[in-house]
Amino acid sequence: MKILVAIAFLLIILSLGSALVFLMRDKGKSNRTVQALAMRVGFSILLFIFILIANKLGWIQPTGISY
């Protein structure tokens, strides 16, 4: 489970980085920046839904805050 979440975070960060590269190279003349940012939002939503489903199915357990 930790590996899947780590991969999802990595995809989100890579998509954000590619959006930055497209923004710097294209200077707003192409649609690639918007597509990369849309993919980032999509990955974030999928990760959130996956975590909710995994919690509901008992694959992950909330641990709370330990002092």
Question: How large is the angle between the packed helices 2-26 and 32-57, nearest 10 degrees?
Answer: 170
**pLDDT value at position 66?**
67
Dihedral angle sign, alpha carbons of residues 6, 12, 16, 17: positive
Distance set, CA 33 to CA 13, 15, 36, 44, 64 (Å)? 14, 10, 5, 17, 38
* 14-62 pLDDT per residue, tens: 999 998 898 899 887 888 888 989 999 999 999 999 999 999 998 888 8
Cα–Cα nearest to 5, from 44, 36, 35: 44
Instruction: Please give the DSSP secondary-structure letter assigned to residue 28.
Output: T
Q: Residue ranges per domain, the chain? A: 28-59
pLDDT at 64 over 80: no
